[in-house]
Amino acid sequence: MAVLITDLCINCDACIEECPATAIVSADDSPLANGEYTYVKPEKCIECVDAAVPKCADVCPTEGCIIWDMPYTEPFNHHFVESNDYVLRVHKKKGLLSPVVAPRPYRESVALSEREKNISVGETLRLYNP
């Protein structure tokens, strides 16, 4: 990741079709054991680096629902591998698609201090009150 969908999610699934990385699945397809909400796969999310704003947050009707997490890169490997917020995919040949094995692009413009606080993606990018 990436971005994380919180329990503010109303499971409208509007974000799923918008994701250019097919990183988002509905609650029914969440890999979490008790997944109740639409879920972002951090091993697929590219933070929409080629777009003006993350598409999921842009379309989401629930303010503050989607928040920043750490970059999906090697320095944060433990963060993702040991997190209860995620279940990372295991590839047949590559094994666990951890940040070490398969790092993803991320927005350098979002400070690590903001990511650590899990601030809202929409708030960062002024999606609510431009």
Residue ranges that bind ligand SF4, judged by CB under 6 A: 3, 5, 9-15, 18-21, 23-24, 38, 40, 45-48, 54-56, 59-62, 65-66
Q: How far is the CB of 51 from ligand SF4 (least distance, A)?
A: 7
Q: How far is the CB of 37 from ligand SF4 (least distance, A)?
A: 6
> CB-wise, 4 or 98, nearer to ligand SF4?
4
Q: How far is the CB of 56 from ligand SF4 (least distance, A)?
A: 3
Taking a C-beta distance cutoff of 8 angstroms, is the pair 18, 26 a contact? no
In the beta sheet, which residues pair with residue 7?
Answer: none
* 3-class SS of residue 85: coil
Phi-psi region of 7 (alpha: psi -120 to 50; beta: other; left: phi over 0): alpha
